[in-house]
Amino acid sequence: MSHEGIRFVDKDTAARQTEADRPLSRIAVTPEKVRVLLSEGKGLEIDWADGHHSAWTFAWLREACPCATCIEERTQQGRKPGQPKPAPANLLPMYTPPPKPGSAHAVGRYALQFNWLDGHSGGIYSWEYLRRVCQCRECTFAAEEATGTPN
Ligand SMILES: [Zn+2]
Ligand SMILES: [Zn+2]
């Protein structure tokens, strides 16, 4: 019996894709305020208990979906979380509306889940994952330093 083709992606894999083992303190992954700017269509903002502030656009979050399917697709295409798919070269450019969730809800006390308007909803965005993919200048600079590649 062959197990080839079956791959297990545990919930921490998405976080490991970005910055391997940067230790995060408990307060660094505890959100104090979470704002999902649904009606504005802007994105997600989190104020963390350690005073840090993070913001992501919905388009970025959709491309950083931490579900097993999306992680596998990004890995195959060599994309980082949040990096959009390359536009197909042999097709006429088509207008696609920017990704947006129809709704969002908390998963227990550890994560957020988005119901994207494209029908996808499998990604559980844990606070730890979100903090690790913080897009503020300070964090993206630290990530560049760590990996040696521009973000
Ligand atoms: Zn996904
Ligand atoms: Zn940050």
Given this model, what pLDDT does residue 2 score? 47
CA of 129 to the centre of ligand 2 (A): 12
Q: How far is the CA of 74 from the centre of ligand 1 (A)?
A: 10
Protein residues near ligand 2, an ion, with CB under 5 A:
134, 136, 139
Average confidence (pLDDT) over 4-30: 66
Output the CA 104–ligand 1 centroid distance in Å.
14
d(CA 120, CA 107): 16
| pLDDT level of residue 119 (50, 70, 90 thresholds) | very high
User: Rounded CA gap, 54 and 135, in Å?
Assistant: 7
142 CA to centre of ligand 2 in angstroms: 9
Give DSSP secondary structure letters for 6-67: -----TTHHHHHHSTT----TGGG-EEEEEE-TTTT-EEEEEETTS-EEEEEHHHHHHT--S
- How do residues 28-80 score in pLDDT, each as one tens digit? 999 999 999 999 999 999 999 999 999 999 999 999 999 999 999 999 999 99
Ligand nearest to the CA of 99: 1
Closest ligand to C-alpha of residue 14 is 1
Spell out the residues 6+ positions from residue 45 whose beta carbon is closer than 8 angstroms to its own: 33, 34, 35, 37, 53, 54, 55
